[in-house]
Amino acid sequence: MHDDDAILDVDVIEEIPPKRINFPAIEFAGKKYDRLVLRSPTAQALDEAEAKSVQSTSIAGAVHLIHRVSGLPLGVCLQLDPRVLHLAGAYFERFTPPAPKAGGDA
């Protein structure tokens, strides 16, 4: 018997596949961009996006996170359709910790 055999509660972190989002072409710096690929963000990227959301807006945080994770130039990310931001937000939602529960009577 191994020491690990006594552990009853095990969490397994499974890889979440990248998500591609196609959108109408955006021209920026002489190039056209019409898609992005989202990957799992790092804790640092999530933290930076949250800080942007606090300093500015949640849209600024989402744009920053898309820029960091997809590699698209920030100028392109700033021109993305709000529907792209919505789809990206749904993808990133699974990586964010739940909000703390509000205090109150138990």
Domain assignment present for 102: no
Task: Please enumerate in sequence order all residues whose Cβ is within 8 A of that of 47, keeping only pairs 6 or more positions apart, or say none.
Answer: none
Domain assignment present for 48: yes
Domain assignment present for 34: yes
Task: Give the range of the structural domain holding residue 44, as residue numbers without chain letter.
Answer: 16-93
Alpha-carbon span 64 to 48, nearest angstrom = 8
Res. 29 pLDDT band, cuts 50 70 90: very high
Model pTM above 0.75: yes
Structure tokens belonging to residue 90: 């749904």
Domain count, the chain: 1
Domain assignment present for 10: no
Domain assignment present for 33: yes
Q: According to the model, what pLDDT value does residue 3 have?
A: 62
Domain assignment present for 100: no
Res. 57 pLDDT band, cuts 50 70 90: confident
Which residue is associated with the tokens 């709000």?
A: 82
Cα angle 77, 60, 96 (rounded to 5 degrees) comes to 100
